[in-house]
Amino acid sequence: MSELTLHNVSFHYGDGSLALQSIEMNLKSGERIALVGPNGAGKTSLLMAIAGLIKYSGDVLIDGVRLSDKSKHEIRKKMSFVFQNPDEMLFMPTVMEDVCFGLDSLGLSAEAANAAARAALSAVSLSDFEGRSAHHLSYGERRRVTLATVLARQSTLTLFDEPTRELDPFGRRQFIDLFQGMAGTMILATHDLELVLETCPRMILLDAGRIITQGDPRTILADAALMKAHRLEVPHSLSTHPHGHY
Amino acid sequence: MHIPDGFLSPTVTTATLAVSGMALAANVKALNRDIKAEQIPLMGVLASFVFLVQLFSFPILGGTSIHLTGALLISIILGPRAGFIIMSASLIVLALLFQHGGILSLGANILNMGIVGCFIGWGIYHLIPGQSISIVMASIFASVLAAFLAAVELASSDMFVFSTGLKSMLIIYSITGLIEGVITVSIIGFIKRIKPEIMELGS
Amino acid sequence: MNHGFLEDHAFLNSPVHRLSPKSKLSAVFLMLTLILILTHLFQPALSIQIMFALAGILAVFTFLSRVPLRFLLLRSSLVLPFSGFVILVNSLSGTMDPFQILLVLTRSILSVFTILLLISTTPFQQILTQLSRWKFPGLLVMVIAFMYRYFFVLAKEIKSLEKGVGMRSSKLGGWQRMKTYANILGMLLIRSYERSERIHQAMEMRGFSEESL
C-alpha cells in the first residue's frame, strides 16, 4: 500500500485567489483518512494536486517518489481517483470497456484485463451489466461501476471525491460495505460526516485552503464550536444535545 | 430537411453518397493528422450537444418551434472540419435511432446540411469573422442552399416539381435560417460572457 | 429512470436478436438497396408487387423477432408527413399517378421499418462495433460513441435547466422565451465543455496518453 507525503503544497486559482496554502500531510501505508471542510475549502483541489492534475507548488511524494510531469505516468499506475460525478469517469460504450479502460497501460494483456474487469464487476454485483452502456444503469449502479474500476486496477492509493453524494440510504450502505472491504491507502473527501465516523480512523479539517486540525474524527467532529466555526455541524450520532427530535 | 429513404433515385443516391463519402474520408484523414488525443473527448461531448440541439424543438414566436442544425455554431467553435465530422455523426445517429432521414439518403443529407452548413456556411461567416451580421447572413445562405439542393435532389428523382414548391420552400428556409442565425448569435454572446475561452478552440 | 427508450427492445432474446450484427447490418443494406433499385427498374405495377414480397420477408422477421408489430408500425408512420408533402406537391402539378403515389408510400415505409427492425434487435454498441470492423473511420466511430453515451446526460440536464429557469410557467413572452432558451443552450454547451475536460482528466488518470490512440 502506498505512502503519501505532502510538503508545503500551495495552489492558486486562475484568478490568483488561494485554493491551498502550505499543506503538510503524511499518510502511512494502508491508512484511511477523511478530508472534511465546508464548500470551497479546497478539498477537491487537494485531491487534484495529489493526482497531479493541477500545477501546484511544493512537493507531493508517493512512496518516496516526487510527483512531477516525468514521474506522474508511473505514479498514476498505483492510483485511482474516483470523481464526484460517475458520468465523468464512465465514458466508454459499455460498462465492461469502462472497467477495462487503462488496464493495458498497467501492463495487463487483453485476457488478463478482461478477467480483472469481470472479477471487479462481480465483486460489486454488476456482472449482468457488462454489455450495457452506463446510461442504462441507475445512479447507484454507476457509482458501483466506478468502484469496480478501482478494484480492477488494484490501486494502492485511492482518492474519493464525495463518494456518497446523492446516493439513497441503500446505495450508501452498499458503498460503505464495499469500501470497508477494499485494500489500500485511501483519502475520502466528503460532507457525509457519519461516513467519516464509520469508516475513517483519522481526518483532516480543511478550510480556506488551510489545514485547521487533524486527528480522531470522534474528537474533532464532536467539538461543536469548531464545527460551527467552519460551517459544519456535529453529526447526530455524536450529539449530546440533539438538534431536534420528534 | 432530412430526406428519408425511398425518395431519391439510384443515380442521385449514388452521386450524393460518393460526394459525402469522399468529403468524410478527406476530413477524417486531415483531422487524424492534426488532432491531439485530448481533443477527442471534447469533440465527442460537443457532438452530443449538437445531437441534442438537432433533436430539440426550439420554441419561437406564436407557440411554434423550429429545429436547429447547429452546423454554423459548432463550426465557429471547433472549426469546419471538426464541425463536419460532428454533423455527419449526428445525422447518422439521427437516421439510425430516430429515423430522421434515411440511411441511403445520408449522402444527400450530409451534403445538404453537413457540407453546406459547415464549409459553405462557415466560409461565408469567415469572410467577415466575429460579426453578428456575418453569422446571420451565413446562416440564411446555408439554410436556403440546403433547401435548394434538397429540392434539386428530389426533382432529379421525379419527386418534386420546381414550379410548384420551390418558391415557398425557399422563403420558409430563409426564415428558419434567419432565426437560427439570430439564436446562434445569442448563444455565442452568452458563451463569450461566461466562458470566452470556448470561442478560442477553433484553432 | 433508465433512459433505455431508444433501445426499447434491443436486449430481448429471439432468433433474430441472436443473429450476428454483421448479418443483420448486411441484410439491412441489402434490403434498402433492393427497395431502391428494383422499384426504379420496373414499372410501378410490378414494383408494388415486389414491395409486397419484400414486406412479406420483413413480416416473417418481425414475427421471429418478437418485437411488437404495433410499435414498429407506429414508429414507421413518422415518415408519413414527408411522404404526404411530396405527394401533395406532385399532386398539385399532376405528375404522379395513383400507382406512383402508392409506390412512394410503400418504399418509404418499408425502408423505415427495416431500420426500426434492425435497431430493435441489435444494441447500438454492437452496430457501432460492426461498423468499425468494416473500416468505418475510427474518429467518426469514437465521436458517435461519445455522442450516444452523453446524449442522455445532456437530455436530463436540459430538463433540469428548463425547470431551474422556470420554463414551466408560460408567462414569458415570445422573445423572452427565445432568449432564455438560447441561454439554456449556451449553458449546456459550456457544461459540455467542462465535462469534456474532466473526462480527459479521468482518462489521464487511467493512463491514456498520446500514444494510446
CB–CB contact B92 C189 (8 Å): no
| Grid cell at residue A187 | 483519502
List, for residues B142-199, the tens digit of each pLDDT value. Answer: 999 999 999 999 989 888 877 777 888 889 999 999 999 999 999 999 999 999 999 9
List, for residues C144-165, the tens digit of each pLDDT value. Answer: 999 999 998 999 898 888 888 7
Which of chain B's residues have a Cβ under 8 Å away from the Cβ of C177? 59
pTM listed for this prediction: 0.89
Q: Is A79 on the interface with C (CB under 8 A)?
A: yes
Which of chain C's residues have a Cβ under 8 Å away from the Cβ of B165? 89
**Bridge pairing between strands B65-67 and A79-82:** unpaired
Domain boundaries, chain B: 10-200
| Grid cell at residue C63 | 414475427
Q: Which residue of C has its CA nearest to B30?
A: C139
CB–CB contact C186 B187 (8 Å): yes
CATH 3.40.50.300 domain residues, chain A: 1-78+156-238
Note the CATH number of domain B10-200. 1.10.1760.20
Residue type (1 letter), B41 = P
Q: Is A128 on the interface with C (CB under 8 A)?
A: no
Q: Neighbouring chains of A at 3+ CB pairs within 8 Å?
A: C
DSSP SS3 for A172: helix
Provide the pLDDT for residue C213.
43
List, for residues B74-128, the tens digit of each pLDDT value. Answer: 999 999 999 999 999 999 999 999 989 999 999 999 999 999 999 999 999 999 9
Whole-number Å distance between alpha carbons of B123 and B22: 19
Q: What is the radius of gyration, based on Cα positions, of chain B?
A: 16
Q: Which residue of A has its CA nearest to C197?
A: A88
Q: Is B118 on the interface with C (CB under 8 A)?
A: no
Q: Is A1 on the interface with C (CB under 8 A)?
A: no
Please determine, for the modelled complex, whether the ipTM score is greater than 0.90. Answer: yes
Whole-number Å distance between alpha carbons of B5 and B96: 12
8 A C-beta contact, residue C143 and residue B86: yes
Beta bridge partners of B113: none
Interface-testing mutation among A71, A135, A159, with chain C (most C C-beta atoms within 10 A):
A135
Beta bridge partners of A186: A32, A158
List, for residues C85-144, the tens digit of each pLDDT value. Answer: 888 878 777 777 788 888 888 899 999 999 999 999 999 989 999 999 998 998 999 999
Q: Shortest Cα distance from C68 to chain A (angstroms)?
A: 22
DSSP SS3 for A188: strand
C35 or B203, higher pLDDT: C35
Which of chain A's residues have a Cβ under 8 Å away from the Cβ of C204? 53, 76
Whole-number Å distance between alpha carbons of B69 and A41: 42
The CATH H-level (homologous superfamily) assignment of domain A1-78+156-238 is P-loop containing nucleotide triphosphate hydrolases (3.40.50.300)
Q: Is B61 on the interface with C (CB under 8 A)?
A: yes
In this structure, the number of other CB atoms found within 10 A of the CB of residue C97 comes to 11
Choose among A17, A20, A33, A245: nearest CA to A158. Answer: A33
Which of chain C's residues have a Cβ under 8 Å away from the Cβ of A126? none
Q: Is A158 on the interface with C (CB under 8 A)?
A: no
Q: Neighbouring chains of B at 3+ CB pairs within 8 Å?
A: C
| Grid cell at residue A83 | 470523481
